[in-house]
Amino acid sequence: MSHGMRVKNMIKCILKTSDLIKERQTELLDIGFVPTMGNLHQGHISLLHEALKEFKTVYFSIFVNPKQFGPSEDFNRYPRTLERDIELIENTLIHFPDSKVIIYAPENPDEVFPKDRHQVISVNGLSTVLEGKIRPGHFDGVATVVYRLFDIIKPSKAYFGLKDYQQYLVIKQMVNDLALPIKIQGMPIIREIEGLALSSRNQYLTAEQKSTSLLLFNTLSIIKNIIDQKRVNIPKANSFITETLKDPNWNYLEIRDSETFSEDISHSKNITILAVYQMGSTRLLDNMQVEVQ
């Protein structure tokens, strides 16, 4: 795909930011936006589906953002499957014959981050705990790229999967802090039948690792069942967590307030159990929401 864009079934794939900005200037109506790193699965497609239900035109970015990978992380190994991704988008669009999807797929990071722009967006507090503590700078990389994409694409609504729950809160906080006129829509986690949350990194797992990985979903389910929507059961859940964390493969397993992300959940109405389990070289991330009374 050497040329700058291609059109098929009301899909345009644009590689250059200057072309994207020109395209965007032709849009008169509000647009929805789905930012991704590509290597799409049904989780991403569920976001696209929701966006197409609400908007005639959806912008969809496929960009492996170098700024959100640490020095020892899998940036070069991260799967890039543009042709297949476009096919999945085309298949989704069949159900929306009057709609169009503009895919922004810059291959060169300089398209997104011009050499003379050194802007970093940092969301204080949220960015340095849990996932942010283990991956310093990660959420700055996420916030910076999402801000840049928002700036280029100017959507009125953007869709994020709730699997990356902390990321979702970081983006919401950023939009709030900077008073951006964009609604952030969190979308439910899509899972395999056994419960494993869909992730582009799951393909790194061997068959054996894959069956072991259900430990993550099962542990979250057990904690959710222990709490059973009752605040009085939280201490019992915490004892179970303490016991579980004796397995050193847990990067973390914690309960936080779903709105504030505070560890103090004594008055929380909604809480989120968040976890990362290390499976070989792959970190499996998941969470579960619980309402409490």
User: Encoding tokens for residue 219?
Assistant: 């542990």
Contacts of 121 (CB under 8 A, 6+ apart): 140, 143, 144, 147, 174, 178
On the 0-12 / 13-18 / 19+ scale of CB atoms within 10 A, 80 is middle
| Structural domains of the chain, ranges and CATH numbers in brackets | 5-187 (3.40.50.620), 200-291 (3.30.1300.10)
How much is the pTM? 0.94
Summarize pLDDT for 94-138 with one digit per residue, the tens: 999 999 999 999 999 999 998 887 889 999 999 999 999 999 999
pLDDT at position 283 is 94
The catalytic position among 41, 44, 49, 118 is 44
Average pLDDT, stretch 210-230? Answer: 97
Q: Hey, how many other C-beta atoms are within 10 angstroms of the C-beta on 76?
A: 9
Average pLDDT, stretch 188-196? Answer: 96
pLDDT at position 4 is 53
Asked about 44 being catalytic, the answer comes back as yes
> Could you give the CA distance from residue 93 to residue 104 in angstroms, rounded to a whole number?
16
Over 80: is that where the pLDDT of 8 sits? Answer: no
Q: Helix, strand, or coil here: 222?
A: helix
The per-residue pLDDT of the chain, averaged, comes to 94
Q: Hey, how many other C-beta atoms are within 10 angstroms of the C-beta on 102?
A: 22
Q: Which amino acid is at 100?
A: K
Average pLDDT, stretch 266-277? Answer: 97
